Amino acid sequence: MSRMNLLFTLTSLSVVLVAVERFSFTTRVLLQPYGFLRLHELVQLTVLIPLTVIVPALIFREVSRDFSALRSREGKWLFLAFVIGTYFYATGNGLHEMASAAFNEHCDANAFTGDLCGGLFFNDFYTGNTMFFAGALLMNTSLLAIESRNPDESSAQGSPAALVLNAAVYAVTVLAYAGLDRSPVGLVYAVGMLLVAGAFFLKVRQHYRLFPFTTYSALVYALGGFASLVVRIFL
């Protein structure tokens, strides 16, 4: 298995762990003192979300050819954009998780009233999610842009089966956030990524095997984005 396919597999593993943990017993365990946080948010903030940042950082290393692309002026700007995206991704997730903990423990999620619960709801589903997905969009766009300047000759070898399988797994996650979530922010992100990844893929489609992250991203958001649109429109 190539290093890129290994990283795609780790991405699949991370999103599966995030999804499984959200339905586990950790959502029912309050931490003391004062029940200040659920075990769920602690696991997300300290273990699972850091994993979803580490893997893209390793992908950046691969698509930049062991950071050699950072020698150029464009490479330095793209690295800066990736770092800024990571900041918003992590900050947005932290805001989302903290607001979610308070909102779900102290408010009626289906019929909340008052400024406090209203503010927690908005920070949970809109403020946090907007920062989170904006950061993800910037991170992914940076990766796509830097890979477009650095084709990988070695990636043309071997079967694309692992890439396709991992893309399908991640597309299910996109569907969950964009098609089934209470907030439409994930859908806006998915459509945005569909357009961005699709544009990069069209530029390299004749040599797509040399651009594994671009091919992977285009497939992820084509499957997940279109499925989300169908769910939102017809279901």
On the question of a cis peptide bond just before residue 33, with omega within 30 degrees of 0, the verdict is yes
Q: Indicate if the pLDDT at residue 17 is higher than 70.
A: yes
Share of residues in the chain with pLDDT > 90 (%):
88
Chain-wide mean pLDDT for the chain?
Answer: 94
pLDDT value for 153:
83
Q: Indicate if the pLDDT at residue 197 is higher than 80.
A: yes
**CA dist., res. 132 & res. 110, Å (int):** 24
Contact criterion met (CB below 8 Å) for 113 and 179: no
Q: Indicate if the pLDDT at residue 222 is higher than 80.
A: yes
pLDDT interval class at 66 (50, 70, 90): very high
**Which tens digit of pLDDT belongs to each residue from 19-57?**
889 889 999 999 999 989 999 999 999 999 999 999 999
3-state SS, one letter per residue, for the chain: CCHHHHHHHHHHHHHHHHHHHHCCHHHHCEECCCCCEEHHHHHHHHHHHHHHHHHHHHHHHHHCCCCHHHHCHHHHHHHHHHHHHHHHHHHHHHHHHHHHHHHHHHCCCCCCCHHHHHHHHHHHHHHHHHHHHHHHHHHHHHHHHHHHCCCCHHHHCCCCHHHHHHHHHHHHHHHHHHHCCCCCHHHHHHHHHHHHHHHHHHHHHHHHHHCHHHHHHHHHHHHHHHHHHHHHHHC
pLDDT interval class at 1 (50, 70, 90): low
Cα–Cα distance list, 158 to 1, 52, 53, 163, 202 (Å): 8, 26, 27, 11, 22
**Which tens digit of pLDDT belongs to each residue from 49-61?**
999 999 999 999 9
**Which tens digit of pLDDT belongs to each residue from 67-126?**
999 999 999 999 999 999 999 999 999 999 999 999 999 999 889 999 999 999 999 999
Residue 31, phi then psi, degrees to nearest 5: -90, 145
Contact criterion met (CB below 8 Å) for 194 and 222: yes
